[in-house]
A and B are shown apart, each in its own frame.
Chain A
């Protein structure tokens, strides 16, 4: 069976925590969760993971610690964490919005709210996961800045001393901010996706290098773990369905 788009997304999310060491991986959403657990089972064995509530668990579910919200928020402030959040909107500098669409005073669409996005982005490495890459998400300007992007962080160099947005993973590819002015760059395409497809689905001018690599292939062991251990029910295909290539 060939590798599905959802499985490339799991690999791309897992790579977020490569080399992270003994820190908490906080994935939000199914595919980031699969990625974090895959990383923990393979190349990032020191990662800490929660059960989604207040317990730190080993991959087999054995509790190894207690992390209620009060300690979780303290851990964020201490920086020993890499979170992968969702983004209803994100701009070229990585400013993220999960609060509302339209005018904040009377929004067209009320979403979750700012949640912990500012604490996260100012204190620990942050990445984002976007299951459906579109112009509605990758926007010229977000309506309410929740997660702080690079341009705004640059205006507060002391407060933002720990600011680091590592990557954005979407169903089309992987993006980073490894450009001189920290604007978003296409880092890799998921196999089956072309540059034009990404450009069409992005409302701002993306930095596209001369040669864009493809997101790496999963190893046989990783594929087996994803399919037989982490997600035997195949829920990943509901978050990222098989797309028409292009």
Chain B
């Protein structure tokens, strides 16, 4: 069986400009930020991003890498409105496919199930239909005759997710309260790159945790990246909570200054810059 371990930069080197990328997590929770940081270091842009959006979207938007976003929201949770996303939207920086959270989920399911669409009782009557003129409806062929949105499959060229543990083969484990939709993102994608806090032996995964924590299956995974603190500054329960201090710094600092201070170097440079910043705050 193949060892799928690689570095974040190697994972990103397999991506190309113009691709459709799904990003796991939810809001400012368990986002694959080390992979996003690697993406920011690369020259890759012109992306279609599919995400329950948080700072992943904010950073890629601020860096001008997004051509089109598919999302129902973008938020930092403890800071409800993502400032860089806001700025990008208010300057018309990219195209938006704004869909309901439920439609988004049904779209991922359709993609994972190799269906062109799935019917969902959402969207109809709202302006989601107005702002997505391409959306079609479908009528039940049974006697109820109800009309639904035919949510098109959200098929992805690649998925990026972050979990607590993984083995070298790509079996990914979450240990926090919510799996979010990371398994679905991987199933909906042609290639999936899973970063994790720690790579462990397969047997280690279920030593202290139940098998149902094994969220991501290796047959859906292309690459495994060990990235300690790889969701930072978003939360990665139970390994760590959200770094509210740094998130606040991110939200209140002009993007070029934040990027220069924290994102100009590699991942180790980022983690070192965070340590320096924290020391400064402590003074």
Interface centre among A115, A119, A160 (most CB of B within 10 A): A119
Question: Are B127 and A145 within 8 A (Cβ)?
Answer: yes
Q: Contact check: which of A68, A73, A118, A162 meets B126 at CB < 8 Å?
A: A118
Minimum C-beta distance from B106 to chain A (A): 9
With A118-B102, A159-B125 in contact, do A112 and B80 touch (Cβ < 8 Å)? yes
Judge whether B100 and A115 touch: CB under 8 Å: yes
Q: Please tell me if B262 contacts chain A, counting CB pairs below 8 Å.
A: no
- Asked if B146 CB lies within 8 Å of chain A CBs, one says yes
Write out, one digit per residue, whether chain B residues 201-229 have a CB within 8 A of any chain A CB (1) or not (0).
00000000000000000000000000000
Chain A residues within 8 Å of B100, by CB:
114-119
Chain B residues in 8 Å Cβ range of A123 = 121-122
Q: How many residues of A contact B (CB 8 A)?
A: 45
Q: Which of B103, B121, B148: most chain A CB closer than 10 A?
A: B121
A77 touches B90 (CB 8 A): no
Closest residue to A159 on the B side, CB-wise?
Answer: B124
Residue on A with the closest CB to B122?
Answer: A119
A70 near B179 with CB under 8 A, answer: yes
Q: Can you list, as one digit per residue, whether each of B76-96 has a CB less than 8 Å from chain A (1) or not (0)?
A: 000011000110011110000
CB pair B102 A116 closer than 8 Å: yes
**Least distance between A159 CB and chain B CB atoms (Å):** 5
Q: Pull 20 A–B residue pairs with CB atoms less than 8 Å apart, ordered by A.
A: A69-B181, A77-B120, A104-B98, A104-B131, A106-B92, A111-B81, A112-B81, A113-B98, A114-B99, A114-B128, A115-B101, A118-B103, A119-B100, A146-B127, A146-B128, A153-B125, A156-B124, A158-B144, A159-B146, A162-B121
Q: Which A residues contact B (CB, under 8 angstroms)?
A: 53-55, 66, 68-70, 73, 76-77, 99-100, 104-119, 121-123, 144-148, 152-153, 155-156, 158-162
